[in-house]
Amino acid sequence: DGGITQSPKYLFRKEGQNVTLSCEQNLNHDAMYWYRQDPGQGLRLIYYSQIVNDFQKGDIAEGYSVSREKKESFPLTVTSAQKNPTAFYLCASKGDNTAEQYFGPGTRLTVT
């Protein structure tokens, strides 16, 4: 059963703590993306990776970090430097042979 998984579905953290969101795909896609979605807003690109061991900043990368050590995995760390981390985080992937992006179910992060 191919697809993208994100865990956990809900995550709660105290302010000042770093937290890592998981994204795994078994679609054999080269490109992976992290987006943030706030209420009433569209998706904003945080980081993207076109290939293993390579990634680029998106439009709102400050306070976030990523790694791409394996093709299947693209974890996102929300650091304490992110001023407003509470949001819905979506991971996506895209293969070279497909024009479509495929999305995971999302992780809702609440920081208090």
> Which residues here bind another protein, judged by CB under 8 A?
4, 6, 31, 33, 35, 40-45, 48, 50, 58, 88, 90, 92, 94, 99-106, 108
**How many CA atoms does the CB half-sphere of 109 hold within 13 Å?**
28
Q: Measured between alpha carbons, how far is 58 from 92 in angstroms, rounded to an integer?
A: 14
By beta-carbon proximity to another protein, the closer residue of 19 and 92 is: 92
CA atoms within 13 A on the CB side of 10: 1
| Closest distance of CB 95 from another protein, Å | 11
If the CB atoms of residues 60 and 80 are measured against another protein, the closer one turns out to be: 60
Measured from the CB of residue 12, what is the shortest distance to another protein in angstroms?
16
Min dist CB 64 to another protein, Å, is 16
Complex with another protein: residue 10 or 112, whichever CB lies closer: 10
Tell me how far the alpha carbon of residue 89 is from its chain's centroid: 6
* Distance from C-alpha of 93 to C-alpha of 26, rounded to nearest angstrom: 10
